[in-house]
Amino acid sequence: MTTKLATEKRNVKAVIFDIDGTLIDTFDAYCKVFNLGIAQYGLGPVSREFLSDRVGKALSLREILEGIFPKGTDDLTFEACKTAIRGFFLQAEATEVKPFPGITELFENLKRRGIKIGIATGRVSSNEDEWKRFGRFGLDRFISAIVTSREIEYRKPAGDVIIECARRLGVPPEHCIAVGDTEPDIAAAKNAGAIVVAVATGQGDRESLSKAGPEIVFDSVTDLIAYLEAIGDSEESAGS
């Protein structure tokens, strides 16, 4: 943990989290279902490194597929493949996808501190689907707002999804910590005017994340607990 001065000056009232690679360990399942989807068209398999690079750049599923399918592939084929991959992922998610260790304890700690919790994801799933997914993990009870990329005009690295989440939380972005695992997550948080925090548990390594200029990089998102305790920026510490 390296930078706390900027956060100390801002009176943190909310934390807005990315999902994949930040709260939920989805990448192994995503690799599997992606290759299942393209195999139906005689393509692949692609490597983890290939997908990690594309996901880390916040490319949409369509954009990733366009780099694999032959030129001139029609829209119906792309849509059918996307639907297949998403269907496979929904099946895998029920049994294979879990939050990173310590997420429940982290959310409990934030709630005790009076810090609101929001979710701002690059996923284009529906808001209702994401509430259901967090419900399966028993985490929905801690969350005050969820915003998906389906609900905003411009995806990350634009700041739209974070700005909208902050609006629903009723907290100005400058009083929100925004946590993500990729360079586009960092750019989105900066563009939204939030306090920028990166976590090296997803598709960005510590070196590349640091170069993108967050205020701090965590090895685990649960490091946020010790960080907030260190700066004493909470109702819990104020009342002790």
What residue ranges define each of the domains in the chain, with the CATH number in brackets? Answer: 5-25+99-238 (3.40.50.1000), 27-96 (1.10.150)
Q: What's the predicted TM-score (pTM) here?
A: 0.85
How much is the average pLDDT of 186-215?
A: 94
**DSSP state for residue 70 in the 8-state scheme:** P
pLDDT of residue 150: 93
pLDDT of residue 10: 60
CA distance 78 to 61: 9
∠ CA(215), CA(221), CA(222), 5° rounding? 120
**DSSP state for residue 4 in the 8-state scheme:** -
Say if residue 9's pLDDT is above 60: no
Share of the chain above pLDDT 90, in %: 77
* DSSP per-residue letters across 135-194: HHTT-GGG-SEEE-GGGSSS-TTSSHHHHHHHHHHT--GGGEEEEESSHHHHHHHHHHTP
